[in-house]
Amino acid sequence: MAKKTKPAKAEKNKPVVDERLVLLAGLFTFIFALFLLVAFVSYLYTWEADQSLTWQSLLKPFSISAKNLMGPIGASLASIAISRGFGLGAFLLPFVFALWSLRILRVEVRRSVKKAAVLIIGMFLVSITFAFLGGDAKGYLGYGLGGRYGYYFVSLLTHYISMVGTGFLLLFLIVAYTVWINRAFAQRVFKSVETFVDRMRRGQSAIATAAQSIQREVIPSAGKTDVPPMEDSDGENLGDRGDVVSSGPVAPVEKDLQEAPPAPAHRKYYDEENTAPKAQGQPEPTELTPGHTESHGPAGVPPPEVEESLPVQGAPEEKGGETLGQSPFKIYRPGEADQQEQADEAPQGEPVPLASETKGEQKPLVEHVPASPVADTPTRPAEQPSSMVLEVEKRQDELTDASHISLDQPYDPTLDLRNYQMPPLELLEKHDEGQVEVPEEELVANKDKIIETLSNFGIGITKIRATVGPTVTLYEIVPAPGIKLNKIRSLEDDIALNLKAAGVRIIAPIPGKGTVGIEVPNANPAIVSMLGILRSKKFQETKFALPIALGKTISNEPFIVDLAKMPHLLVAGATGQGKSVGLNAIIASLLYSQHPSQLKFVMVDPKKVELTLYSKIEKHFLAKLPNEDDAIITDTDKVINTLNSLCIEMDERYALLKLAMVRNLKEYNERFISRRLSPEKGHRFLPYIVLIIDEYADLIMTAGREIEMPIARLAQLARAIGIHLVIATQRPTTNIITGLIKANFPARIAFRVTSGIDSKTILDGPGANQLIGRGDMLVYEGTGITRVQCAFLDTPEVERITDFIGNQNGYPSALELPEYNPEGEAGPDSTVLQDLDELFKEVATAVVENQRCSTSQIQRQYSIGFNRAGRIVDQLEAAGIVSAQSGSKPREVQIADLMTLKRIFETLE
């Protein structure tokens, strides 16, 4: 009974802030802000009549009078702030008090401290600016519009750097202040300057083209220049493959230009707590007896580690808990875990130095991305007027910027959406931010009960330590010599009964430590916020290709993995145990780290409600089958076609890798970015594709076993070409997760399941049935199992993320996957002409005029996707306008004049 009364007694000793005082303080501050604002406005009209007031005169209230609406006190405060202070800049001061009042009243105002700092700095800047522009304003308000301080600073500046220098300095300060409070201002300025330069360049190009046309009219037969053709790094003639075709003069390319222009800035966030350097020294451990309840440090201190040294016991005692409890109980901070291990290994009596941790310099989140691709200029006859050239230039400008059309500049896929911005972290909620606060009394009580239970069954221990996590606390024990681990494993239920805990898990032994772990749930588990994981330094500085922030481990460290190395992920868990939240965490992690040109999702949602929120980002991050209305697949009949379409995409990518003589997607994209692969041969930038399937068991029931074959193919082969699978199911049974699936999904996540058999099915061992739910999960990466508390991401947060991305400019449509024709249906030759593309006639006319056909050229010239351009070429082939593809050679145009083409159009109609 004594142990039960101690926590209550400790709570009574804690200071409690009266909510009434908070409310009154906030209201008073807000009313004072209104008081100042009215007094300042009134002072503009009554300053002459009230300028004789002094603070000494306020001691005689009945002998003074003021015309200010707020009386003598208001007039005196206004005189101090405006006349003898900052002039008109003092009008920002009431808004500072207003923000302070809202903060006291606990009204959520984003970045209230930063806004207050902006107002205070603005007050000084406005004061100096008005003092510079107006001087003393003929004595208005005493010292002019800038007040006494503004007048003083301007006088000082003009004395040292003259009037002109002061003006330039103020101009710089105003621009710097504007850029600081408005991040988009700098981008707009740069864009305006860049647009002006582009217009100048296009004007010069138009003039040069017109002059060249006139020269050709005067001199019909111009001699050819002996200019050697350009070659790529492989020695291939660029002129032969048709990378650049132009009827006018081409501006010379600077050979010295080796460095690409910087990529668009990506947001980078750092957790101030995570980036701050650690202290050089750590506090020494405090020795306590189990009955001692003194608090260690203020609230919010990181979770303690508990370690107790016990004598080796050869036989159990009647009251083992009492005997073992007499030894000192040491508490360590989480950073001292490794240091304590060194102390344990060191001889007694020798001091162990505390190793200070140093942080390295912060590295950029997104590395430099090279410049954009070259847009081919279609060939035009020399007799075309200059207006046609301008039209071509306009169409080219819609695709890329004129400053990025040099062949010696690397290709930048992000320039298609150059103004795209990553979603800011302000869209996420803080929740508890993973703050772990486990009372010391709870740690001591659990320790005593564990020791007592083990002693009752004849198991002695020599050491025990505790590591506190957000959901569970890991108690590591060192058994006495001669104790078998199987005997400890069998006591799982007995320890849970004695601790009265929902799920106790025993790890015997812990790999690499030589200890036995006993995981005990905390009485009050903490919520791990997605905001805290994404703003951690570990996530911001990760070099992973596809980083996934899953949550926090028992040691309260962010748990981040690379989906590209997994390479596929199997997620299982009973209903309501956090599986949907885990999928949202996976998707949100990728959205916060990837550009739309680098990543595409294929989402399958048989439940029709889990993934529908992501339909807003269809034109940015989603991929779908051609002629499909919904990018998120909810019809199980279309799932098989989508999976087979991904298999076709996989085969096409492997064909490109074979042609490029590389082994994986990373090497291929590096060669394409460096322009060592020609788009004329079908090469293109390949984004990562992540296939997410929810309710896999329901798909097996409705679509049948036919769905397993394409999934197995993708799982076996798709890793090297950047296609990764994330499959989630509620039923991890052997008829759903077969051996073929498990063999190709080495990485698995298990939320709480209902039975040990289900746990063995997904993890090849028990443990998932002993989790406590609410995001508690076990992550198996092929080598070991890690217990992680999943980061919480609520539905409103997902909506804000998708709204932010969806409101930005995106691609014309979602990425189109290759068409799939099931067996038994008509082939493409018999059906390709039944539904002609609306651009078919226009493209056919251009192909016949230029006597040249290229899928990549059609894609860039008409601003369409690669798959749509390929379908148009297939239609041209079926209509007999171009020949079939013959290896790496370009297609041959089989129609020589427009009259023959017109007859083909009439036949098709």
Nearest residue to 685 via CA among 802, 859, 862, 564: 859
Residue 432 lies in a domain: no
* Residues 776, 668 share a domain: yes
Please tell me what DSSP assigns to residue 584: H
Secondary structure (3-state) at 778: strand
**Alpha-carbon distance 87 to 151, whole Å?**
9
* pLDDT higher than threshold 60 for residue 121: yes
**Alpha-carbon distance 458 to 417, whole Å?**
68
Please tell me what DSSP assigns to residue 747: E
Nearest residue to 621 via CA among 599, 589, 588, 638: 599
**Quick one: pLDDT band at residue 789, thresholds 50, 70, 90?**
very high
Range in 230-234, 358-362, 890-894 the model is least confident about: 358-362
Residue 450 lies in a domain: yes
Q: For a pLDDT cut of 70, what percent of the chain falls above it? A: 72
Range in 2-16, 69-83, 180-194, 876-890 the model is least confident about: 2-16
What is the predicted pLDDT for the residue at 441?
Answer: 86
454-457 — which CB contacts under 8 Å span 24+ positions? 454/320, 454/488, 454/491, 454/495, 455/313, 455/316, 455/317, 455/320, 455/321, 455/324, 456/316, 456/320, 457/316, 457/487, 457/491, 457/494
Of the ranges 122-136, 348-362, 581-595, the best mean pLDDT one? 581-595
Q: Is the dihedral of CA 380, 382, 388, 393 positive or negative?
A: positive
3-state SS string for 829-891: HHHCCCCCCCCHHHHHHHHHHHCCCCHHHHHHHCCCCHHHHHHHHHHHHHCCCECCCECCECC
**Alpha-carbon distance 472 to 538, whole Å?**
22
Residue 236 lies in a domain: no
According to DSSP, the β-strands at 599-604 and 688-693 are parallel
Q: Residues 6 or more apart from 147 whose CB is under 8 A from it?
A: 82, 83, 84, 85, 86, 87, 88, 89, 90, 127, 131, 141
- Strand ranges for 721-775 from DSSP E: 723-729, 747-750
Q: Which pair of structure tokens corresponds to residue 780?
A: 């198996």
Please tell me what DSSP assigns to residue 622: B
**Quick one: pLDDT band at residue 317, thresholds 50, 70, 90?**
very low
**Alpha-carbon distance 536 to 541, whole Å?**
9
| Side chain identity at residue 92, one-letter code | L
**Alpha-carbon distance 640 to 371, whole Å?**
38
Q: How far is CA 39 from the centre of its chain?
A: 47
54-60 — which CB contacts under 8 Å span 24+ positions? none
* Residues 624, 493 share a domain: no
What is the predicted pLDDT for the residue at 410?
Answer: 86
Domain count, the chain: 4
The radius of gyration computed from the CA coordinates of the chain, to the nearest angstrom, equals 36
* Residues 560, 501 share a domain: no
What is the predicted pLDDT for the residue at 299?
Answer: 40
Nearest residue to 164 via CA among 197, 132, 202, 210: 132
Other C-beta atoms closer than 10 Å to the C-beta of 599 total: 20
**Quick one: pLDDT band at residue 22, thresholds 50, 70, 90?**
confident
pLDDT in tens, 683-717: 999 999 999 999 898 888 887 778 888 998 999 99
pLDDT in tens, 253-267: 333 434 444 444 444
* Residues 884, 769 share a domain: no
* Residues 670, 601 share a domain: yes
Residue 81 lies in a domain: yes
* Residues 694, 545 share a domain: yes
Average pLDDT over residues 819-846: 72
What is the predicted pLDDT for the residue at 564?
Answer: 93
**Quick one: pLDDT band at residue 510, thresholds 50, 70, 90?**
confident
Please tell me what DSSP assigns to residue 512: T
* pLDDT higher than threshold 90 for residue 646: yes
* Residues 651, 591 share a domain: yes
Task: Determine contact, residues 519/473, Cβ cutoff 8 Å.
Answer: yes
* pLDDT higher than threshold 50 for residue 321: no
**Alpha-carbon distance 38 to 725, whole Å?**
63
* pLDDT higher than threshold 80 for residue 541: yes
What is the predicted pLDDT for the residue at 595?
Answer: 94
* Residues 607, 734 share a domain: yes
Secondary structure (3-state) at 135: coil
Domain boundary among 129, 161, 193: 161
What is the predicted pLDDT for the residue at 12?
Answer: 47
Residue 25 lies in a domain: yes
**Quick one: pLDDT band at residue 312, thresholds 50, 70, 90?**
very low
Which residue is it, tokens 């077969």? 738
Average pLDDT over residues 121-136: 82
Residue 371 lies in a domain: no
What is the predicted pLDDT for the residue at 526?
Answer: 85
* Residues 639, 495 share a domain: no
pLDDT in tens, 770-781: 888 889 999 998
* pLDDT higher than threshold 50 for residue 318: no
Phi and psi, residue 7, nearest 5°: -60, -40
Domain boundary among 145, 161, 177: 161
What is the predicted pLDDT for the residue at 705?
Answer: 73
| CA distances to 166, 603, 605, 632, 837 from 622, in Å | 54, 8, 14, 8, 22
What is the predicted pLDDT for the residue at 435?
Answer: 60
Domain interval for residue 882: 839-906
Task: Determine contact, residues 146/127, Cβ cutoff 8 Å.
Answer: yes
Phi and psi, residue 815, nearest 5°: -65, 125
Secondary structure (3-state) at 93: helix
Task: Determine contact, residues 574/794, Cβ cutoff 8 Å.
Answer: no
What is the predicted pLDDT for the residue at 63?
Answer: 55
**Quick one: pLDDT band at residue 102, thresholds 50, 70, 90?**
confident
Q: Which pair of structure tokens corresponds to residue 424?
A: 């800011």
pTM above 0.75, yes or no: no
More confident position, 563 or 897: 563
* Residues 91, 66 share a domain: yes
* pLDDT higher than threshold 60 for residue 15: no
More confident position, 354 or 621: 621
Range in 183-197, 799-813, 819-833 the model is least confident about: 819-833
Which residue is it, tokens 């004061």? 127
Domain boundary among 808, 831, 856: 808
**Quick one: pLDDT band at residue 57, thresholds 50, 70, 90?**
low
* Residues 646, 773 share a domain: yes
Task: Determine contact, residues 617/631, Cβ cutoff 8 Å.
Answer: no
**Alpha-carbon distance 647 to 839, whole Å?**
28
What is the predicted pLDDT for the residue at 344?
Answer: 47
* pLDDT higher than threshold 80 for residue 305: no
**Quick one: pLDDT band at residue 533, thresholds 50, 70, 90?**
very high
More confident position, 547 or 701: 547
Range in 181-185, 418-422, 425-429, 821-825 the model is least confident about: 821-825
Residue 292 lies in a domain: no
**Quick one: pLDDT band at residue 51, thresholds 50, 70, 90?**
low
Over the chain, what is the mean pLDDT?
A: 75
* Residues 603, 576 share a domain: yes
**Quick one: pLDDT band at residue 56, thresholds 50, 70, 90?**
low
What is the predicted pLDDT for the residue at 77?
Answer: 87
Task: Determine contact, residues 770/591, Cβ cutoff 8 Å.
Answer: no
More confident position, 831 or 68: 68
Looking at residue 887, which CATH number applies to its domain? 1.10.10.10
More confident position, 31 or 896: 31
What is the predicted pLDDT for the residue at 279?
Answer: 39
Looking at residue 465, which CATH number applies to its domain? 3.30.980.40
What is the predicted pLDDT for the residue at 511?
Answer: 80
Average pLDDT over residues 449-457: 88
Residue 801 lies in a domain: yes
Q: For a pLDDT cut of 90, what percent of the chain falls above it? A: 22
What is the predicted pLDDT for the residue at 433?
Answer: 57
pLDDT in tens, 280-300: 333 333 333 333 333 344 444
